[in-house]
């Protein structure tokens, strides 16, 4: 696990080494153990790395450079099948000098070119400077576990694992990125900014499952090297499916235990984390180290379920009871996110990451299980609505999109100032951000279409951001066995009824498959969201703070009608309406603006 950064200049104009130093320093939390940069100043290109040493502590220094000096590789992430790939390469006579997974990427690329990505089972963002082609490649893992951002002004492209790593290079050209109004528009629809947009103008994601190539011609080539939509649903016998499901998940867990540092797991006592911990326990002799935070308020406390699971699997379990009101941590959370996110669960995720970081450098998590196998209440509620099965495609898409939206198009229009509404007229978040994914998934049944949309938007846009940024904030690596490519492909070869039964049973076959492993009680316990009661605080003790935060935001004043925001506040405080999610999103936007402004960047929306 690391952070990467660098640039490519079409005119071969070199970036000052001090700027590269600033880029590296901005993400030191992602890699506090080591730093490496290869700067080809005559060519105007650099690839750099901040390293959190996990595999081959002594030999894993990056960049890895080919014997002839023509190719340099850096990566953020882990290639979990690097052991098997290294054995294969050695059998073919390829010399490997280390046990590092990054050297495996280099040697594969030398032999196979960028097509080698398909051979990698892992979570990764990779940069490859290839002087033979005089080109730079950027590549991202299949579903976007690891982040990668770019800013390209037509002359120079800069890249980094976090947006903050780009800002020194952008500023060095005398520019300051402004707020991306369309990104904020989509934020109000989703509660996060969906890729490829960001909160910043001209800062974009390298999309999951995609590589990009910069060359001297000026054209940027982009190719999708993996798509979850390539799967075809088929009928399964449950026993056959159970065997394949458990076999894949067991092996996905096994290879994610490869590390030369202490590791453990987040354990809530829910079906996902309990299943991962049970499989971990099968592969090791020492007790698995597990971590959980609890709260004094029983409505939000899962710690007794985690303790039950830890006892069942013989874990070395660490629990801390945390303060429930974590609003003072919100600015730190948003600093590490670089963008507004309205999801309150980032705060407790940071807290449990801090707990784990006292003991381990790697944690396994259950992330991805809900999106793959229909674990959220919203799926049961949506598909239980009368008439959903008879909707035509366009109506189904609109209704599902509306069901997951934060502000409806009408609510956003009423919130915006007239001049902002005029600038955004005609931009439909369903058409712009969701329709392309719905189109890809049109051959799936309706349940899988909904899950596919959430895999592409919610998972990579929000739910995977959470363990990455909150873990990296305290220099620990989060690994996600459910997002092994083999498991994702199995999930989308499985029909929707195996995930959400006609009776509304969520994770239907999945829970049946793991019940012998983790017990009926853990397999079938009611899902409890990992969150905190922000809405209650906004009505009571935190109302003055919220009013000051929203009222003191220049960005909110530029975007929104003050009376509309005030009415939302007052209705929520009086209890005549529940605007928790909307107010959370606006507060996150205001706090993000404050943090960005403190760093000297332009947070206005411009003309």
User: If you ran DSSP here, which 8-state letter would residue 285 be given?
Assistant: S
Classified as helix, coil or strand, 499 is coil
Is residue 166 located within the same domain as residue 251?
Answer: no
Nearest to 496 by CA among 506, 482, 487: 506
Region 484-513 average pLDDT = 97
Distance CA 424, CA 46 (A): 38
Q: How many domains does the chain have?
A: 3
Both 31 and 174 in one domain: the answer is yes
One-letter-per-residue 3-state SS of 344-404: CCHHHHHHHHHHHHCCCCEEECCCCHHHHHCCCHHHHHHHCCCCHHHCCHHHHHHHHHHHH
Task: Answer for the pair 241, 235: CB distance below 8 angstroms, yes or no.
Answer: no
Average pLDDT over residues 506-520: 96
Catalytic residues: 2
Same domain for 579 and 507, yes or no, is no
Rounded CA-CA distance 430/408 in Å is 10
Looking at residue 33, the DSSP 8-state letter turns out to be: S
CATH number at residue 9: 3.60.20.10
Instruction: Examine residue 363 and state whether it is found in any structural domain, yes or no.
Output: yes
Indicate whether 181 and 84 sit together in one domain: yes
Asked whether 121 and 485 are in contact (CB, 8 A), the reply is yes
- Indicate if the alpha-carbon torsion angle 23, 25, 31, 36 is positive or negative: positive
How far is residue 206's CA from residue 173's CA, in Å, rounded to a whole number?
Answer: 22
Total number of residues shown for the chain: 607
* Whole-number Å distance between alpha carbons of 605 and 180: 7
Q: Is residue 14 part of a domain?
A: yes
Beta carbons of 239 and 266 less than 8 angstroms apart: no
Residues 36 and 165 in one domain: yes
The CA distances from residue 571 to 74, 256, 414, in Å, are 51, 48, 16
Please write the tens of the pLDDT for every residue from 535-591.
888 999 999 999 999 999 999 999 999 999 999 999 999 999 999 999 999 999 999
Q: What is the pLDDT of residue 303?
A: 87
Give the C-alpha separation, 24 to 551, whole Å: 35
Backbone φ/ψ region at 532: left (φ over 0), alpha (ψ -120 to 50), beta: beta
pLDDT at 443: 98
pLDDT of residue 607 exceeding 60, the answer is: no
Report yes or no: 373 and 500 within 8 Å, Cβ to Cβ: no
- Mind listing the pLDDT tens digit for each residue in 432-442? 999 999 999 99
Count of CB atoms within 10 A of residue 207's CB? 17
Average pLDDT over residues 93-105: 97
Whether 62 is covered by a domain: the verdict is: yes
Same domain flag for 258 and 113: no
Tokens of 5: 């950064």
Pairing of strands 362-364, 263-266: parallel
Give the model's pLDDT for residue 160: 98
- Domain-terminating residue out of 489, 523, 557: 523
Please check whether residues 369 and 282 belong to one and the same domain: yes
**Last residue of one domain, picked from the residues 523, 542, 570:** 523
Q: What does the DSSP assignment read for 42-84? A: GGTEEEEEEE---SSTTT--S-EE-TTS-EEEEEEEEETTHHH
Residue 390, domain member (yes or no): no
Query: What CATH number is attached to the domain comprising 349?
Result: 3.40.50.620
Q: Quote the pLDDT of residue 162.
A: 97
Backbone angles phi, psi at 8, to 5 degrees: -140, 120
Question: What would the two tokens of residue 475 be?
Answer: 């220099």
Indicate whether 99 pLDDT > 70.
Answer: yes
Q: Please compute the mean of the pLDDT values over residues 337-356 and round it to a whole number.
A: 95
pLDDT at 600 over 70: no
Please tell me what DSSP assigns to residue 526. P
- 37 pLDDT above the threshold of 70: yes
DSSP assignment letter at 560: B
- Beta partners for residue 297, in sequence order: none
Two tokens, residue 285:
């002799």
What pLDDT is recorded for position 147? 98
> From CA 274, how far away is CA 282, in angstroms rounded?
13
Distance CA 347, CA 109 (A): 39
Helix then strand then coil, in percent of the chain rounded to 5, is: 50, 15, 35
Which pLDDT value is given to residue 525? Answer: 81
Give the integer Cα–Cα distance in Å for 389 and 401: 16
Q: What is the mean pLDDT of the chain?
A: 95
Residue at 404 is within a domain: no
Dist. CA 138–CA 133, nearest whole Å: 14
Quick one: pLDDT band at residue 298, thresholds 50, 70, 90? confident
Q: Please report the pLDDT score of residue 402 as a whole number.
A: 96
φ, ψ (nearest 5 deg) of residue 357: -65, -15
Asked whether residue 395 is assigned to any structural domain, the reply reads: no
CA distances from 89 to 92, 141, 259, 298 (A): 5, 22, 21, 54
Dihedral angle computed from the Cα positions of residues 273, 279, 280 and 285, in that order, rounded to the nearest 10 degrees: 140
Q: Are both 203 and 307 inside the same structural domain?
A: no
The verdict on residue 219 lying in a domain is yes
Order of all β-strands in the sheet with 64-65: 64-65, 71-79, 122-130, 135-140, 210-215, 220-224
pTM of the predicted structure, to 2 decimals = 0.96
Lowest mean per-residue pLDDT among 19-33, 315-329, 347-361, 559-573: 315-329
In the structure encoding, which two tokens stand for residue 121, read together?
């089972």
- For the record, the structure tokens of 96 come out as 């490997």
Instruction: Flag the least confident range among 503-512, 521-530, 543-552.
Output: 521-530
Residue 313 within any structural domain of the chain: yes
DSSP state of 233: -
Q: In this structure, are residues 488 and 371 in contact, taking their beta carbons and an 8 Å threshold?
A: no
DSSP class of residue 458? I
pLDDT(324) > 80: no
Residues 61 and 196 in one domain: yes
- Return the percentage of the chain with pLDDT > 90, whole number: 89
Residues 104 and 184 grouped into a single domain: yes
Q: Which residues of 100-119 are buried (b: 16+ CB within 10 A; e: fewer)?
A: bbbbbbbbbbbeeebebbee
Q: Is the pLDDT of residue 1 over 70?
A: no
pLDDT band with cut points at 50, 70 and 90 for residue 456: very high
- Indicate the SS3 state at residue 61: coil
pLDDT tens-place string over residues 55-64: 999 999 999 9
Categorize the per-residue pLDDT at 158 as very low, low, confident or very high, splitting at 50, 70 and 90. very high
pLDDT digits (tens, 9 = 90+) for 192-209: 999 999 999 999 999 999
| pLDDT number for residue 606 | 62
- Which of the listed residues 191, 226, 261 is the one where a domain comes to its end? 226
Asked if residue 47 lies in contact with residue 158, where contact means CB atoms within 8 angstroms, the answer is no
pLDDT (tens digit, 9 = 90+) per residue, 125-142?
A: 999 999 999 999 999 999
pLDDT for res 378: 96
Clarify whether residues 81 and 149 are in a common domain.
Answer: yes
DSSP annotation of 532 reads: -
Domain ranges, residue 262:
238-375+446-523
Residues 65 and 194 reside in one and the same domain: yes
Confirm if 429 and 185 have CB atoms less than 8 A apart. yes
Locate 292 and state its tokens: 């959980």
């Amino acid at each position: 696990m690391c952070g990467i950064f660098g640039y490519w200049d079409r005119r071969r104009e070199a970036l000052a080494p001090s700027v590269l130093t600033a880029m590296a320093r901005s993400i030191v939390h992602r890699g506090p153990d080591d730093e490496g940069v290869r700067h080809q100043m005559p060519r105007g290109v650099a690839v750099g790395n901040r390293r959190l040493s996990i595999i081959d502590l002594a030999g894993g220094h990056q960049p890895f450079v080919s014997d002839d000096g023509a190719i340099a590789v850096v990566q953020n992430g882990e290639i979990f099948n690097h052991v098997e790939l290294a054995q294969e390469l050695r059998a073919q006579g390829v010399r490997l000098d280390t046990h590092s997974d990054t050297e495996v990427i280099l040697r594969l690329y030398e032999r196979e070119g960028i097509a080698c990505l398909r051979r990698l089972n892992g979570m990764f963002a990779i940069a490859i400077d290839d002087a033979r082609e005089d080109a730079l490649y950027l590549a991202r893992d299949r579903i976007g576990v690891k982040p990668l951002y770019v800013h390209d002004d037509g002359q120079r492209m800069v890249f980094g694992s976090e947006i903050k790593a780009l800002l020194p290079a952008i500023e060095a050209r005398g520019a300051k990125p402004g707020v991306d109004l369309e990104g904020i528009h989509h934020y109000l629809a989703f509660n996060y900014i969906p890729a490829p947009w960001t909160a910043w103008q001209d800062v974009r994601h390298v999309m999951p499952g995609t590589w990009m190539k910069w060359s001297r011609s000026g054209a940027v080539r982009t190719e999708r090297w993996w798509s979850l939509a390539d799967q075809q649903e088929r009928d399964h016998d449950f026993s056959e499916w159970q065997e394949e499901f458990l076999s894949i998940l067991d092996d996905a867990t096994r290879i994610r235990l490869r590390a030369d540092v202490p590791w453990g797991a987040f354990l809530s006592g829910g079906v996902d984390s309990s299943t991962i911990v049970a499989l971990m326990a099968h592969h090791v002799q020492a007790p698995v180290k597990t971590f959980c935070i609890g709260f004094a308020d029983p409505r939000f406390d899962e710690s007794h379920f985690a303790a039950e699971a830890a006892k069942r699997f013989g874990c070395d379990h660490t629990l801390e009871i945390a303060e429930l009101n974590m609003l003072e941590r919100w600015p730190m959370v948003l600093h590490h996110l670089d963008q507004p996110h309205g999801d309150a669960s980032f705060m407790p995720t940071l807290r449990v990451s801090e707990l784990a970081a006292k003991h381990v450098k790697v944690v396994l998590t259950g992330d991805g299980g809900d999106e793959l196998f229909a674990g959220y209440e919203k799926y049961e509620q949506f598909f239980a609505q009368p008439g959903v099965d008879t909707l035509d495609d366009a109506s189904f898409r609109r209704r599902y999109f509306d069901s997951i939206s934060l502000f409806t198009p009408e609510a956003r229009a009423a919130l915006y100032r007239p001049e902002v509404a005029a600038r955004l007229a005609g931009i439909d978040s369903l058409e712009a951000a969701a329709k392309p994914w719905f189109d890809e998934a049109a051959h799936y049944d309706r349940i899988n279409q909904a899950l596919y949309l959430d895999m592409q938007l919610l998972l990579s846009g929000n739910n995977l951001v959470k363990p990455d940024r909150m873990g990296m904030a305290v220099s620990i690596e989060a690994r996600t066995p459910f997002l092994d490519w083999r498991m994702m492909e199995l999930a989308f070869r499985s029909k929707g009824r195996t995930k959400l039964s006609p009776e509304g049973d969520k994770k239907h076959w999945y829970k049946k498959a793991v019940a012998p492993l983790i017990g009926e009680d853990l397999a079938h316990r009611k899902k409890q969201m990992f969150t905190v009661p922000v809405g209650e605080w906004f009505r009571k003790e935190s109302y003055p703070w919220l009013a000051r935060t929203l009222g003191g935001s220049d960005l909110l004043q530029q975007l929104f009608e003050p009376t509309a925001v005030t009415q939302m506040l007052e209705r929520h405080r009086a209890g005549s309406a529940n605007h928790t999610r909307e107010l959370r999103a606006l507060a996150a936007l205001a706090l993000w603006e404050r943090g960005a402004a403190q760093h000297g960047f332009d947070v206005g929306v411009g003309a």
